[in-house]
Structure 1
Amino acid sequence: MKYIPMTILGADKLKKELNYLKHIKRKEIIISISEAREHGDLKENAEYHAAREQQSFCENKIQNIESKLSKAQIIDITKITNNGHVIFGTTVTILNLKTNEKLIYRIVGDDEADIKINLISINSPIARGLIRKKINDVVLIKTPRENIKFKILNVEHI
């Protein structure tokens, strides 16, 4: 079985979503289906078909989250000694050597990634280029647009 790396926060977020889908959303959908059935002929009942489609979507999402959680390798970065190397879960401060722009990213699992809040996927080009590097290393990252040189300024386990 292939494990899926995940931070504690990422696993908690998935567990909360799973709980919501199982205990709240499912009940709402059942009520919608029940109300739609009361409207008569199911063959031409758009509300009924929409509710059944919503139920199918919800059940698929539940199965997907349960599968991810069963394969999750939850990593608590705060319990790993910081030796200055970039690993999964670290928060990395880098300097773009071309623009002199400082960037701070946390390397997380695919499901947790959100560039708007500086969470990048372990499978992104930047993260792949940074993994196993250490403070003061200069790294060439190949992106779809161009190759960019970054200097690693700091590595934190937070």
Structure 2
Amino acid sequence: MRKRGRNLADTDVDMIVGMLDGWSGPLSWQGLIDAVEKRLFCGYTRQALSKHDRIAQAFRLSRIRLAEAGAARGPKRALTPTEQALSERLTRREAEVTRLKAENQRLLERHVLWLYNAQARGLTSAELEQPLPPVHRGQTKATLRRAGGG
């Protein structure tokens, strides 16, 4: 039985999404799992990775990008190492822009949903734009001290 991996932090998810943005060659969940294990020194299952929306969406977009790139392949001239590095960098940036546009669209859709639900419940713009209350750090400890708990 395999030991359970640690939970993925936001930085880990960012790193995995970045890996997918720059992925070249055949893409499969098993290939991604192997690459993540080499990078994070911790193994994850497809289910653990795909439950993170950003990873699942980046994986889907990378597959589409790689399929389109494979269909568009034609005769190429040999690139110098500098041109090859620049080409890979450009491909990674284009993939990142495509992914960020898709993420932005999902966030806009979520905002519209929240706006509709707020209006349906009779919340006004003024109520929705109220600032967050200040954070009272240490308040809990002072309450415990007064109660004799600490």
Compare the two structures and name the one with the higher helix fraction.
2
- Note whether the superposition's TM-score is higher than 0.5: no
More strand per residue: 1
Q: Which has the larger radius of gyration?
A: 2
